[in-house]
Amino acid sequence: MERMMLALTGGERPVRTLGDGPTVLCLNGLTQTTANWTGFARRLAPLGYRVVLTDLPGQGSVNPLAEGGPKEQAHALIQLLDAMALDRCHVLGFSFGGRVAQELLNIAPHRMDRCIFVSTSLRRSSAADLVVKGWLDALESTGVEGLAQHALPWIIGDALLKGDLDLIVRTTSRRNSVAGIRSLLVGLLDHTPPHLSEHEHRCLVVAGERDRFTLSVDQKWAAAQLTHGAFIEIPNVGHTVPVEAPDALAKAVDDFLSQGTL
């Protein structure tokens, strides 16, 4: 996997690329970094794609934005696309990254080919807001490690919950900062998803059957609101689809991008 650092406004941005072919830009969830996408990238790239991974401002070692919400992240993402000379690409956004992808589609549709929203809602939920507020409280009182302990039951599936949770907590804490994650959580709480029903882009919504945070039924509803929306549910998987089911997600993405059908 090729690694590079791009000098952008606000600091350097890590980028990892793998494969050749149409570009698929992957956008992380809240506390993720590019390391969380390695398994998925190694499955999608051999199918004929160039997979691009990057950390958003506030994730990993990247300096946070003054305002870290999805709309501000989308504007920062355009700068990244410019630096990489990417006029257009497919965009796959997971969870928080899906919110960023929605904003990119809304403000710069000419920079996107097809869109894949994974474990992402297209509408605001008071229940989800309460959960996120709890995560912010945990972050402020106990740091990133406390946040990870608080959030894990919501965002990872049963198989991972039975694994080495301490390792996941330590890794999440080591890769992220309080200031960075705070900027993302505050920005998420201030964000209302844009209306995308007027857009003509082909979009795929991918849900985990056992997602406790963004319910599959809500994601199916979201796909129905899109002019050219498709929906797939991956069985026996929680919120973190790219980590829990990289093979199934790679197949769904390839089917969608290569044929437009599932």
pTM score, two decimals? 0.94
Report yes or no: 209 and 239 within 8 Å, Cβ to Cβ.
no
Give me the average pLDDT of each 10-residue run along the chain (262 residues).
Answer: 88 94 95 90 97 94 91 95 95 96 95 96 89 94 90 80 79 90 95 88 95 93 92 95 96 90 49
SS3 category, 2 = strand
Give residue-wise pLDDT tens across range 97-118: 999 999 999 999 999 999 999 9
CB 168 within 8 A of CB 32: no
Q: Does domain 2-124+192-259 have CATH number 3.40.50.12780?
A: no
